[in-house]
Amino acid sequence: MRLELLGALLLAGGCVMADIGEGDDPGLEEIGLELANGIFLDNGLNLPNGLNLGNGASLHNGLNLGNGIDASNGLNLGNGLNLGNGLTGPYVAPPAGSGLEQWIDVDPAMRKKILRYLIECALPGGVVVQLSYRGTVEELGSGKLGLGPTLQDGEMPQAEQEGVSACMLARINGWGDEVRIDLFGAYPGLDRATADDAPYRRYEATYFGNIFTPDPIAYACTQSRRGCEQMRGCRARSDGTCDCGVFETTGLMPGGVNCGTGFTNDLGIDGFQCEHGESLETGQYYLIDCEDEFSTPWQAPITVWFAPRGNGASCRYDDMCDSWACNAGTCAARAASGATCDSSMDCLNTYCIDGTCGKSSGTYCSSGLQCRSGSCSRKHVCL
């Protein structure tokens, strides 16, 4: 099944799909995350007693959105009952003054979106959930991936909590600009790729944790150290500091989301150990069986790949660009070996020597790409 990127997003088969007729073979497409549809999590989805919601209100009875049956808060994701207000089947219907109503009140558009993403990640396909909130009944969302089906019966077990957490963390977007991503992992539908996934050839991050615990845990491991402003799960504050929301609970490097450098078959990143899972025919791969700095196992993270942007597109760091060059927020073209240059950023091979891209004849090289001539001898000397 498919649906519009700017409407209610879904995840399936490695990424979002658009509506097709019943019985058709769905192809894989990208997920669009932008200000209108990306979520931002401040403190996970387990809101304990006395939590201040930032608007002077505190929850008086607690709320755990990892428990799909909570009558006091109007949450019933099972078959449900006819409430006499247009709701039958699974529903979210917070009573007046309930913790869930207070939580939604803080930012209704964002909080509804978080609930919708929870439903899409957790519930099986075809399970439609309605919302009755402050006198209005609407369709909140429908299940897509089925990573936490037990949510329909009550509290999800730990494995399901981690799967749904990875799904939701991968969909956080604090930037406010559009980002298109492709998701892969050791889950049915996310463990394969087609030709449609081929453009998504650059690794972004691997997400894992548990946002349903009283002290939520959220990790976003990257291939190289990135500043807080380069992490999609973060956003800049007006005072110049960085807000990484739920990721701040990790206690890692600044921003709480940096995981170091270097990839091997057994990935070791600043106390993290992950193993490579499946390598896909389109070139992507996903990671499995991660351990954090405390040796806590995380068995099924979700790995995100993205399509690099062409020259002239907006960017935040070099990796986002097809040319590997982000200059002043714009992807810049890089010149081939032998062309004139002003700095290494001008050159495709990153060597600008005496105003020319590439190393001169007789200098050391490891490949022809480093040489002005384009040729490196067997003795590792530019020709």
The pLDDT value given to residue 36: 61
The pLDDT value given to residue 13: 30
End-to-end CA distance of the chain: 56
For residues 218 and 245, give the distance between their C-alpha atoms in angstroms, rounded to a whole number.
Answer: 10
The label of the residue with tokens 């207070």 reads 102
Note the maximum CA span of the chain.
84
12, 366, 372 from 379: Cα distances, Å:
50, 9, 17
Count Cβ atoms within 10 A of the Cβ of residue 83 and give its class: 0-12 exposed, 13-18 middle, 19 or more buried. middle
Report phi then psi at 180, rounded to 5: -110, 125
Sequence spans of domains, the chain:
28-37+173-308, 39-169
DSSP, res 318:
G
Q: What is the secondary structure of 120-137 as a DSSP string?
A: HHHSPTT-EEEEEETTEE
Report phi then psi at 172, rounded to 5: -75, 135
Task: Please tell me the pTM assigned to this model.
Answer: 0.79
Q: Which residues pair with 359 in a beta bridge?
A: 371
Q: What is the secondary structure of 166-199 as a DSSP string?
A: HHHHTTB--S-S-EEEEEEESSTTTS---GGGTT
Cα 115-118-122 angle, rounded to 5 deg: 145
Strand order through the sheet with 179-185: 31-33, 179-185, 302-306, 202-210, 217-222
Q: How many CA atoms lie within 13 A of 73 on its CB side?
A: 22
For residues 35 and 113, give the distance between their C-alpha atoms in angstroms, rounded to a whole number.
Answer: 11
Residues 6+ apart with CB under 8 A from 123: 77, 90, 129, 142, 143, 144, 146, 148, 149, 151, 152
Count Cβ neighbours within 10 Å for each residue of 360-380 and write b for 16 or more, e otherwise: eeebebeebebbbebebeeee
Write out the chain's pLDDT in tens, 383 residues.
Answer: 112 222 222 232 333 222 222 333 333 345 667 656 688 888 888 876 666 666 666 666 677 888 888 888 888 888 766 666 666 789 898 988 888 898 899 899 999 999 999 999 999 988 999 999 998 989 999 999 999 999 999 889 999 999 999 999 999 998 878 888 899 999 988 998 888 899 999 988 889 899 998 888 888 877 666 667 778 888 888 887 788 888 853 333 333 333 333 333 333 344 567 777 878 888 888 888 887 767 788 888 999 999 999 989 999 888 899 888 888 889 988 888 888 888 887 888 888 899 999 999 999 988 888 899 889 988 889 99
| Cβ–Cβ < 8 Å for 161, 212 | yes
Judged by DSSP in three states, 9 sits in coil
Q: Which residues pair with 13 in a beta bridge?
A: none
| Cβ–Cβ < 8 Å for 39, 168 | yes
Question: What is the bridge-based pairing of β-strands 242-243 and 352-353?
Answer: unpaired
The pLDDT value given to residue 367: 84
Residues 6+ apart with CB under 8 A from 298: 162, 208, 209, 219, 289, 290, 291, 292
| Cβ–Cβ < 8 Å for 137, 160 | no
Cα 37-38-39 angle, rounded to 5 deg: 120
Judged by DSSP in three states, 109 sits in helix
Residues 6+ apart with CB under 8 A from 113: 37, 39
Q: Which residues pair with 218 in a beta bridge?
A: 209
For residues 252 and 292, give the distance between their C-alpha atoms in angstroms, rounded to a whole number.
Answer: 10
The pLDDT value given to residue 57: 64
Q: What is the secondary structure of 271-313 as a DSSP string?
A: TEEEEEEEEPTTS-EEEEEEE-TT--EE---EEEEEPPBPTTS
